[in-house]
Amino acid sequence: MSSRALVIGITRLGDLIQSEPLIRALRSHAGFNSVDLLIERSFVEIASELSSVDDIVCIDFEDTLRPLSVRSDRLPLEAFARIVKRMDTAQYDRVFNLTHSRPSMVLAALASRGSEGVTLDESGYQVVRNSWLRYFFATNLARPWCAFNLVDIYVNAVAPRMPFIDRIPRLRKPLDREIDSRSYTNTPHVLLHLTASQSDKQWPQPMFDALTSMLIDRGAEVTLVGNASKDNDHRGLTNRRVNNLIGKTSIRDLIELCDSADLMVTADSGPAHVAACRRLPVVAIEGGSAHAFETAPYGIANLVIEPHLENVVHRIPDKRSTSAPASRVSVLTVLSAAERLLCQGESIVGSEGCTVYETASGTYVPGVELRPINGSHFEYEKWQSDLRKFWYNALTGDPDGKTPPSGRFSKLFDRAVDACKQIEKVGSDSPLLTAASRNLTKAEQELDGELLKHPPLHHVVAYLKIARSSLSGTNVSGQAQELRHLYQSLSMAGKCLEELPEARTINVTRHNNPMEATA
**Mean pLDDT value of segment 79-88:** 80
Average pLDDT, the chain: 86
By mean pLDDT, which of 115-129, 174-188, 254-268, 392-406 is the weakest?
174-188
Residues 258 and 365 in one domain: yes
Contact 284, 267 (CB under 8 A): yes
Given pLDDT bands bounded at 50, 70 and 90, which one contains residue 459? very high
**Mean pLDDT value of segment 458-473:** 93
Is 65's pLDDT higher than 70? no
Give me the helix-helix angle, 102-111 and 77-90, nearest 10°: 40
Domain presence at residue 300:
yes
Q: What is the pLDDT of residue 517?
A: 47
Residues 229 and 328 in one domain: yes
Residues 384 and 267 in one domain: yes
Domain presence at residue 157:
no
- The full 3-state SS of 126-138, as one line of letters, equals EEEECHHHHHHHH
Task: Specify the DSSP class assigned to residue 236.
Answer: T
Q: What gap in Å lies between CA 298 and CA 11, rounded to an integer?
A: 18
Which is higher by pLDDT, 361 or 519? Answer: 361
Query: Strand 34-40 to strand 263-267: parallel, antiparallel, or no bridges (unpaired)?
Result: unpaired
Residues 371 and 305 in one domain: yes
Nearest partner of 297 among 338, 262, 328, 266, judged by Cα? 266
Q: What is the pLDDT of residue 127?
A: 94
Could you please report the per-residue DSSP string of 466-482?
A: HHHHT---SSHHHHHHH
Q: What gap in Å lies between CA 36 and CA 463, rounded to an integer?
A: 29
Among 87-91, 141-145, 223-227, 470-474, top mean pLDDT goes to 223-227
CA-CA distances (angstroms) from residue 316 to 27, 73, 131, 141, 454? Answer: 40, 37, 23, 11, 8
Residue % of the chain over a pLDDT of 70: 86
Residues 117 and 198 in one domain: no
Query: What pLDDT digit, counting tens, does each position of 221-239 carry?
Result: 999 999 887 666 555 566 7
CA-CA distances (angstroms) from residue 409 to 147, 344, 487, 490? Answer: 19, 45, 11, 9
> Residue 473's CB: how many other CB atoms inside 10 A?
12
Residues 321 and 285 in one domain: yes
Q: What is the pLDDT of residue 510?
A: 44
Q: What gap in Å lies between CA 395 and CA 385, rounded to an integer?
A: 16
Alpha helices in 59-115 (DSSP H): 66-69, 77-90, 102-111
Give the contacts of 396 (CB within 8 A, at least 6 positions apart).
156, 160, 161
What is the span of the domain harbouring residue 69?
4-129
Q: What is the pLDDT of residue 87?
A: 82
Domain presence at residue 49:
yes
Query: Strand 34-40 to strand 221-225: parallel, antiparallel, or no bridges (unpaired)?
Result: unpaired
Given pLDDT bands bounded at 50, 70 and 90, which one contains residue 71? low
Domain presence at residue 400:
no
Domain presence at residue 294:
yes
How far separated are the first and last CA of the chain, in Å rounded? 37
- Confidence (pTM): 0.91
Q: What gap in Å lies between CA 352 and CA 342, rounded to an integer?
A: 24
Is 503's pLDDT higher than 60? no
Domain presence at residue 216:
yes
Is 518's pLDDT higher than 50? no
Domains identified in the chain, total number = 3
Residues 313 and 378 in one domain: yes
